[in-house]
Amino acid sequence: MKTQSKSIRPPEGTVPLLIAAEKHGLTKKQAKDILLAIPQSFVKVGHKFFVNDFGDNLLGIRKPIENQWQSSKSENLMPDDDEPINEQALDVPQTEDVPQVLNATQRLFEGEETAIVKRCRMPNRTMLIVEYRGREVICRCKDSSMFIPGMRIIIRMDGYTLVSKYQPRKLGRY
């Protein structure tokens, strides 16, 4: 039985919240907080938020106002003298050895051989065509119905054949 993906189509004249937030240089949470305070600036379909033209204008206006408020706030609170507050803190060399936080998918792909799926709807459902080291080769899997073209997969060698190491649990995702 094939699974159908449940994609929510945006209502006409609206943009997904994430795209609208990135357009104005805001995070999704900041944009959502701004829009939730003002009625009729967004449309909610299921669990997704879509921004209409009114909400898009609000996000565009809100950003310069916040930046102006922050700049005036910092100008008024800065001390007039040029001496640093804590000289010992300035003498310590700054290091860039801050560890990056990896999500589960990044940890899964770290240090593994990967390939990109090119074709996954084949007559033989245990077969995929992937791009591996610049060539299109056949890769085996349990069931190709959850793979999508363009998906990055982890592979292993089984003799001379490539085999998908993990089976996706959701369409296009591990």
Return averaged pLDDT per consecutive 10 residues of the chain, 174 residues in all: 64 81 85 84 81 83 55 51 56 62 76 89 92 93 92 90 90 82
What local confidence, expressed as pLDDT, does residue 16 receive?
Answer: 85
What local confidence, expressed as pLDDT, does residue 99 receive?
Answer: 66
Q: Write the DSSP string, 27-91.
A: -HHHHHHHHHTSTTSEEEETTEEEE-HHHHHHHHHHHHHHHHHHHHHHHHHS-SS-S-S-HHHHH
What local confidence, expressed as pLDDT, does residue 111 receive?
Answer: 79
| Backbone CA torsion sign across 74, 79, 85, 87 | positive
What local confidence, expressed as pLDDT, does residue 108 receive?
Answer: 77
What local confidence, expressed as pLDDT, does residue 137 receive?
Answer: 94
What local confidence, expressed as pLDDT, does residue 71 receive?
Answer: 52
What local confidence, expressed as pLDDT, does residue 116 receive?
Answer: 93
What local confidence, expressed as pLDDT, does residue 3 receive?
Answer: 61
- Global pTM? 0.42
What local confidence, expressed as pLDDT, does residue 83 receive?
Answer: 56
